[in-house]
Amino acid sequence: MLNRRNPLPRTIVGPDGLPYLRRNLREALFCDLYYQLTAIRWPLLLALLGIGFVAANLLFASAYFLDHGLKSVRASDFSEAFLFSIQAMSTVGSLTAIPTTLLANVLFTVETLAGLLLFALVAGLTFARFSRPTAQVRFSRQAVVADRDGVPCLMFRMANVRENRILEAEIRVTFVCTDVTREGESIRRFHDLKLVRNHNALFALTWTAIHPINLRSPLRGTTPDSLSAREAVIVVSLTGLDETLLQTVPARHVYRAEDLRFGVRFKDVMKHMDDGSGWVVDASLFDEVIESPFHPC
């Protein structure tokens, strides 16, 4: 429902990884409250829960204090009414006072019911945040452009940090840039980049994604200066099935124009063991590059 009178500007991260400030976008006051509580950071969530808990107990304690309906609580001591409210809301059972008036009993019943509901909601919200599936995928700090089998290619590297496998992993790469139409309109264009291999049945170690820059590639003829002038970014999206959790896990990374290096390639991180019985993956070389021939298409 679009019924909020005073819309506030909101900054979001767009599909190209850049911040966008949204203005005059109306939305309901408590629209998607569950989503907002699961999306905010832990310190802010804990602060909101703490403030809400204290505020609710202050409200009930004020009602108890004004009614004077608690036995064994001094009429001039608000702190004891506040402690009684905390015990009632948390349903701990060791109450320091007993409600005697009708209003005090009604408040006690309402507060107990509210405490049961609120703690159940908080428990569900906490579980939802802890059980949210995420992928621990490391992306190379930079993407490189160099020749591979005589063809100029865009390449970047990924590694599965966890000691399990991501099943049926699939990546999509999008080239985003600013263009001007014939009518003089400035727009953001999204181009899908075709990869040599965009599917990995068992993503366990490292994976180098390769996009050939041929005559059909949107990157044909680009240079570092032209990429910067067009505010170009490369968005990488990976999804797969976590072998341990059996849930779909996402990973995302953005390479900006300054993150692209031309005429270099990645060092090989895999080498044979000394006894030849297996392989060694040296993560210290993950972001290391060396010079390599590059002939623009």
pLDDT digits (tens, 9 = 90+) for 56-89: 999 999 998 888 888 775 655 788 888 888 888 8
pLDDT of residue 264: 93
Is the pLDDT confidence value at 214 over 70? yes
- The dotted CATH code for 137-291 is 2.60.40.1400
Q: 35-55: per-residue pLDDT in tens?
A: 788 888 889 989 999 999 999
Residue 247 has pLDDT above 60, yes or no: yes
Q: Which of 206, 224, 216, 200 is nearest to 156 (CA)?
A: 206
- CATH annotation of 32-130: 1.10.287.70
Give the percent of the chain with pLDDT over 90: 38
pLDDT at residue 7, rounded to an integer: 40
How many Å apart are CA 292 and CA 193, to the nearest integer? Answer: 22
Higher pLDDT, 268 or 31: 268
- Backbone φ and ψ for 223, nearest 5 degrees, come out as -130, 165
Instruction: Kindly report the number of other CB atoms within 10 A of residue 7's CB atom.
Output: 13
Distance of CA 48 to the CA centre of its chain: 20
Q: Report CA torsion sign: 119, 125, 130, 131.
A: positive
Cα dihedral 77→81→83→88 (10° resolution):
170
Residues 6+ apart with CB under 8 A from 216: none
> What residue ranges of the chain are covered by domains with CATH 1.10.287.70?
32-130
- Tell me the pLDDT band of 97, cut-offs 50, 70 and 90: confident
Give pLDDT, residue 25: 57
